[in-house]
Structure 1
């Protein structure tokens, strides 16, 4: 018996194998189905998916064998590692100097015919083999050999899919950990920052009112700056808390919503002085969606259409259409518009264009990020069309 040689890239090969986290894993139906199919196609009593570890061969799936691993030094499959571009085909092991006196030939499982297809990962490392074994000398035909090659490719595909699933799980756990850190941050912001900010604002106002006669214009102006700066910071803190609140919201439940009634409810909240003209669809369409998420989306969009309108008469159009799969709802205004270079920026959290609105305040860069998040939760998409100086249209497509 001639023991298999150790490949020149053994360390890298073992690292590649360990990266799949598959050694000593539980049986999996997809792998088991492949060895059963290989055995049936090749009409052999034994078939295995063998992975070659440092000192052993381990069977991920097997048919015709009771043990789950064996020594590497007596392994047939370990020989496939040295020539990963070719099958190892042994019609009769008694005629092969490497195997004729092997304990796997002279004893159970009495290997006479062996065919092994190397399992090679996308980086070229041989991990083991898909093999079929018979206890009688024989040769496989071309159809059987080709089928084994294709099945070996499927084993690699399954291994890659398994690795990607593990990576996704690790990424999910990492993101979950980061999200918990953000929740803790939000809690700290809520309790440890908002309270001092409120105190600063209250004290600035009180100082301004109680010492008005003793302060000169510069002193009054400085207190006014303190109050306004604190107010801006408080607004940002509230927006951050709101953003992460909606990030954790579930939007599973759908309700019947009459679109015009729903929009009018939001308009009454946002345009209390009736300064804008709103043009709604002629028909009061009925849609099914999550009312909380939809309210957050259109509250932000209508609010922006009001705040960033520089025309003497502000007009906001709300349009509706539908297809077999989607509702399409758009908010179009005749406001100041958005430059095309800024289309992508406005959906980034904390990204602002540096403009003040019609009330002389700056945005927090959170509203449209929240809109996009809510649209994604509803399995929808958002589109933007705008022309500087003429107006902006946001189109929301909601999956039915």
Structure 2
């Protein structure tokens, strides 16, 4: 698997040292990126399994990426969205759901302990805007820095046993929202309560709308 040895050779002390299980942050991101990819690389899955002999190896890599101190500085600059609902980001989410014909869509911010929906097409009564990180699928997009597009979450190696899937998220598509310094704050994501095929045109639409969400969330004042 290319880049595994390169990433390992760059491990060291400090914030970039990486998670437990002996995987440095850069290598961990390569691993997760391969796991979220469309081929569901079984070789990479085997390597991850050997790191700890259990799913906790993947959890450790994801936790480390989400907790990256430099990324957290980016989140600090966004302000508090736990109690602040952005009408602009709500509109982006609503447009996303309408354009793709999905049940739900959101602009999410992923913290080490929670996921916050800074904008969504759902009411607060229908969909809690703040949920524990354990319920987040977007954390895999943040950790990998790559889009995560899944037709049937029940058949995906990372998601089959995920609690959100058990709650009914059966199709998911998320695009990372990356700031000018290369840090992933969250995602523009959409999901459905039934499996579905995401066409290349739909993924392109999601990418285009993610550019709008990125500009509104990351490049402008949070009190817009």
Q: TM-score range by the shorter chain?
A: 0.5 to 0.7
SS in structure 2 at match of 1:149: helix
Partner of 2:208: 150
8 Å CA contact retained: 1:38, 1:151: yes
Q: Relative contact order: is structure 1 or structure 2 higher (C-alpha 8 Å, sep ≥ 6)?
A: 2
Distance in 2 (alpha carbons) for counterparts of 1:127 and 1:141: 26
Q: Is 2:118 the partner of 1:57?
A: no
8 Å CA contact retained: 1:25, 1:60: no
- Describe how 1:79-228 pairs up with structure 2 within 5 A: 79-84=140-145, 86-107=146-167, 110-159=168-217, 160-162=219-221
- For structure 1, the 5+ residue unaligned runs are 167-400
Residue 9 (structure 1) shift: 7.0
CA-atom RMSD in angstroms:
2.0
Residue by residue over 1:277-308, the C-alpha shift from the partner in whole angstroms, topping out at 9 and shown as x without a partner, is xxxxxxxxxxxxxxxxxxxxxxxxxxxxxxxx
8 Å CA contact retained: 2:149, 2:198: no
Distance in 1 (alpha carbons) for counterparts of 2:135 and 2:82: 20
Tell me which of 83, 103, 106 is aligned to 1:48.
Answer: 106
8 Å CA contact retained: 2:82, 2:129: no
SS in structure 2 at match of 1:50: strand
Partner of 2:76: 18
SS in structure 1 at match of 2:97: helix
- Structure 1 residues 157 and 25: CA distance shift in structure 2, 3 A: farther
TM-score by length of 1: 0.38
- Structure 1 residues 8 and 79: CA distance shift in structure 2, 3 A: closer
Query: How many corresponding residue pairs?
Result: 162
Higher Rg:
1
Distance in 2 (alpha carbons) for counterparts of 1:8 and 1:66: 23
Residue 138 (structure 1) shift: 1.1
8 Å CA contact retained: 1:80, 1:88: yes
Residue by residue over 1:331-369, the C-alpha shift from the partner in whole angstroms, topping out at 9 and shown as x without a partner, is xxxxxxxxxxxxxxxxxxxxxxxxxxxxxxxxxxxxxxx
Tell me which of 126, 135, 148 is aligned to 1:74.
Answer: 135
SS in structure 1 at match of 2:65: coil
TM-score by length of 2: 0.67
Distance in 2 (alpha carbons) for counterparts of 1:83 and 1:154: 21
Residue by residue over 1:163-213, the C-alpha shift from the partner in whole angstroms, topping out at 9 and shown as x without a partner, is 5x79xxxxxxxxxxxxxxxxxxxxxxxxxxxxxxxxxxxxxxxxxxxxxxx
- Describe how 1:315-354 pairs up with structure 2 within 5 A: none
- For structure 2, the 5+ residue unaligned runs are 1-54
